[in-house]
Amino acid sequence: MIAKIELRRAFLSKRAFWVYALALFPFIIFLVSSMQTKVRRADLSSHARTTPALLDSVQEGETDESVVKRLGSTSKDRQWSDPFGPQIINETTGTTEQDIEPGHTARFIRLSIFVPNVTRDRTARIYEFEVYGDGPANLALNRPAISSPPCSPDEGPEKAFNGSVSGGTKDRWCSRGVGLFLQVELGESLPIKRVVIKHASAGGEAERLNTRVFTVQASNDGSAFETLAGEKISTHRRLTYFDGSREARFEFTDGKLASREIQPLLNFEEDRRIFAGVFQFFYLRLAIFFGCLGIFMNLFRGEMLDKTLHYWFLVPARRGVLLAGKYGAGLIASAVIFAGGTLLCFGVLLWTHDPIQVQAYWQSSGMTHLFWYMAAAVFGCIGYGSVFLTAGLLMRNPIIPAAVMLGWESINGFLPAFLQKVSVLYYLQSLCPVPAPIDKDVPSLLQLLLAPAAPASRTGAIIGLLVVTAVVLWIARIAIHRMQVTYSMET
């Protein structure tokens, strides 16, 4: 009867609602990840598939065109370039002055603009584009020019070669969109030694509108251009293919295969290791620990804070029975919450993967793994629950015992093997069917320190936890028999 009444407090106490968040947090993370994977699979499957043999046949050094020709339509095809123009060396005047070394002979000079400014505006603004040879004369002054479509008839390419920057926005070349360029014809092939570019702020506009990424190129025939100022433009292309189970990404630089990455979209073995890590590092160390703190500490401390404990002491029932009833209620609540959370996480893990793989796993060791994961959660509630129930009887401030025990459990992996065994966590991990993974990138010394002691047998772990629980509850029984209710001390 006592346990039945206390179940409401254990399940619905406002002071312990956050326990549900702890229990369900891994489930939510796994669910979101699973849904993202399913969406990704659906997206890749909506395009043409290739065969595993063709995916494996792609080798470094191949061209993007040859790969597309052999493998066919892609799931994704992304192309981009990363040009870097000369820097604006005078932020005050908004002018770029770039020496061309070694000198170059050309008839056509082109300014190619890739990022017009630092804002989202795709408008390029150039007030003057000057070209110099060996002498002081501007070779581009009033020469014929062409460009990408200007913003207006009054802002054509000729405005960038008229020798003036003082006429306001109508004294500039302006073009908007993509493929922006400004080109001048010098009349004949001439030696080019220096270029001067006057950007938006040179004409009185805001500095943020100055050209951001561009190159200066030269040509003798107006078709084949060579970069003079700015690094060589590298083009990139990433092709994505899908063979039904693996996603392949081939990245090309300047038309040649630079890297290849072929990964299974889902890796059942890897996901099971991730689940083992989440269960042992988060669920056992934090979620169940703090969840039991919230549930069991509240069974007596909550009554003291609400000033209702004396009603139980007036009931014609032995205090040992009251202790057993409250502990039973807390155990049922915590076991349902955390074993249920474990079941939900495990279910989402299986839901994501191929049914054939899941069936084979379930028929071999899956059911056993699930049982022991849930058993570890339940025994965690048994062990931690008894400790925090007793702490609630003995101490007014629950933070102190919680901090001490959390500190001891947290450093467990760094302790010598014989000290690791003086821990609830050691026995809970001994029940887990899969050992927690340790990142191979962790330094060797730290891996050695984190290496767990040899696990106890499952029988030994269960007996050890039950013995510890019995001892702790015996201490709690003594405490409750000696307990005197004094609410004035609880304010």
Which residues are 258's β-sheet partners?
none
Residues contacting residue 404 through CB under 8 Å, at least 6 positions apart: none
**What's 364's DSSP letter?**
I
Q: What is the pLDDT of residues 130-177, one digit of tens each?
A: 999 989 999 999 999 999 999 999 999 999 999 999 999 999 999 998
Distance (Å, rounded) from C-alpha 105 to C-alpha 219?
A: 8
Whether the CB-CB separation of 454 and 485 falls below 8 Å is answered with: no
Q: What is the DSSP string of 368-392?
A: HHHHHHHHHHHHHHHHHHHHHHHHH
The angle at the Cα of 178, spanning 177 to 184, to the nearest 5 degrees, equals 100
Q: Does residue 449 or residue 104 have the better pLDDT? A: 104
Strand partners, 124: 175
**Helix 288-306 vs helix 2-12: angle between axes, to the nearest 10 degrees?**
110
pTM over 0.85: no
| CA–CA gap between residue 143 and residue 61 (Å, rounded) | 44
pLDDT, the chain, mean: 84
Amino acid at residue number 443: P
pLDDT digits (tens, 9 = 90+) for 383-423: 999 988 888 788 777 677 778 887 877 776 666 766 777 77
At position 393, the amino acid (one-letter code) is L
pLDDT-derived band at 305, boundaries 50, 70, 90:
low
pLDDT at 484: 66
